[in-house]
Amino acid sequence: MSHDEVFLRNSWYVAAWAHELIDGKMVARTILEQPIVIYRGESGKVVALDDRCCHRAAPLSMGRIEGDDLRCMYHGMKFEPSGKCIQIPGQEMIPPKLGVRSYPAVERYGLVFIWTGDIEKADPALIVDYPPLADAKWRGLPGYMHYKANWLLIVDNLSDFAHLAFVHTNTLGGSEEYAYTTKPVAVERLDDGFRVERWHMNAEPPPYHKKVIRNKTDHVDRRNIGRMLVPGIFLLDTMFAPAGKGAEKGVAVEGTRQYRNAQFMTPETRSSTHFFWNYLHDFDIDDPNITLSLRHSLEEGFMEDKAIIEAQQKVFDADPNYELLAIRADAPLSHFRWALKGRMEAERNARAAA
Ligand code: FES
Ligand SMILES: [Fe+2]
């Protein structure tokens, strides 16, 4: 299978956190099975180039940033942000087509997005809109994890709130009851994914939330609204309202605390994934202990997922044709696969027609 058949190419993918590029650091990262080097030029511009010199394939990430350009430190060829070679030490004539691939790169929300498809289709307006990431009323800490698993296994995991109860009983979930007594209010099928809303009424606060509040035993009405979007973006709006005050009817209940969570799954290869995330809170935002506690709790929760997801990948590696049987709770993830497949097919057809 060529990678064109595995990945959606015409899409923005998160390639790095902007903070990874401070102090002139270069990030060498494989994305969609392509080695890429990402750096910030002197003008502040973020550049993403193929991490292979077109001359003798030395990694450009071993090179030197000069202004906004990058010099290969093997034989000294210099490349501008467009990827075009602009200097060959000892050779005057530079063939106009000589260079490396450049990826359109856009910095937003403290994240670096790159476009892996046809350059003329790279429209920054297609980058997902998630205002909490840019709003000072929310506080969080950027996170990164590496998974030895196909990104769709992570998508599956996040698509399914039922696993909160069993995998995360002592961290994010709270009780096995969550699996039995909550039902998605509605699974809304979107062109590019799905949206699901789930309420859990009059429950004890789950452990991660308890750790950062004082009224630890007061029951809460918990609402999760999750959106999973192509190619692998999960956005989760969580609300904990004091129980029984009508939050489910849209009443703004005093003492409500909220979280906003964004997670970006970027395929490294077909069996490994870069996972960028931030978990934001809207209360006590000036108390760093709370931000840190949430960061640790979420990481602890993700590690529980990682163990299962990476073990699943091993099962698929051993037997790629193993057949799965769906249950009703799988409807959202089936829809997501269908939406992604549609996009990939359209892309393939457009390429075949061209
Ligand atoms: S390998 Fe880069 S200049 Fe020779
Ligand atoms: Fe999980």
The pLDDT, as a whole number, for residue 170 is 85
CATH of the domain at 19: 2.102.10.10
Residue 352 lies in a domain: no
Mean pLDDT, residues 166-187: 78
Residue 58 lies in a domain: yes
In this prediction the pTM is 0.95
- Of 117-126, 197-206, 258-267, the one with minimum mean pLDDT is 197-206
Same domain, 189 and 42: no
Reported confidence tier of residue 4, pLDDT bands at 50, 70, 90: low
Kind and range of the H or E element at 111?
A: strand 111-115
Query: Final residue of a domain: which of 96, 126, 156?
Result: 126
Mean pLDDT, residues 38-52: 98
Q: How far is CA 212 from the centre of its chain?
A: 25
Ligand in closest contact with the CA of 89: 1
Residue 19 lies in a domain: yes
User: 137-157, pLDDT tens digit by residue?
Assistant: 999 999 999 999 999 999 999
pLDDT of residue 77 exceeding 60, the answer is: yes
Same domain, 112 and 143: no
Closest-CA residue, ligand 1 atom 1, reads 56
Interaxial angle between packed helices 151-158 and 331-353, expressed in degrees from 0 to 180 and rounded to the nearest 10: 140
Mean pLDDT, residues 72-87: 98
CA angle 183, 185, 187 (to 5 degrees): 100
Residue 52: partners with Cβ closer than 8 Å, 6 or more residues away: 35, 58, 59, 60, 100
Reported confidence tier of residue 242, pLDDT bands at 50, 70, 90: very high
Same domain, 164 and 78: no
pLDDT of residue 1 exceeding 50, the answer is: no
Closest-CA residue, ligand 1 atom 4, reads 75
The pLDDT, as a whole number, for residue 271 is 97
Same domain, 120 and 137: no
User: 247-261, pLDDT tens digit by residue?
Assistant: 999 999 999 999 999
Same domain, 243 and 107: no
Residue 84 lies in a domain: yes
Same domain, 145 and 229: yes
Same domain, 168 and 61: no
Same domain, 55 and 143: no
The fraction of the chain above a pLDDT of 70, given in percent, is 98
Atom of ligand 1 at shortest range from CA of 75: 3
Residue 353 lies in a domain: no
Residue 281: partners with Cβ closer than 8 Å, 6 or more residues away: 138, 139, 140, 212, 257, 258, 259, 290, 291, 294
Ligand in closest contact with the CA of 85: 1
Closest-CA residue, ligand 1 atom 3, reads 75
CATH of the domain at 196: 3.90.380.10
Write phi, then psi, for 81 (nearest 5 degrees).
-55, -25
Same domain, 140 and 38: no
- Of 86-100, 113-127, 190-204, the one with minimum mean pLDDT is 190-204
Residue 139 lies in a domain: yes
The fraction of the chain above a pLDDT of 90, given in percent, is 86
Residue 119 lies in a domain: yes
Same domain, 246 and 305: yes
CA angle 182, 255, 226 (to 5 degrees): 35
In this structure, the residues whose C-beta lies within 6 A of any atom of ligand 1 are: 53, 55-56, 58, 72, 74-77
Query: Final residue of a domain: which of 126, 147, 181?
Result: 126
The pLDDT, as a whole number, for residue 123 is 98
The pLDDT, as a whole number, for residue 180 is 75
pLDDT of residue 231 exceeding 70, the answer is: yes
d(CA 39, CA 102): 12
Q: How far is CA 139 from the centre of its chain?
A: 18
Same domain, 137 and 215: yes
Mean pLDDT, residues 172-196: 83
The pLDDT, as a whole number, for residue 112 is 98
Tell me the residue range of the domain where 145 lies: 131-345
How many domains does the chain divide into? 2
The pLDDT, as a whole number, for residue 178 is 74
Residue 15 lies in a domain: yes
What integer best gives the mean pLDDT of the chain? 94
Same domain, 307 and 159: yes
The pLDDT, as a whole number, for residue 234 is 97
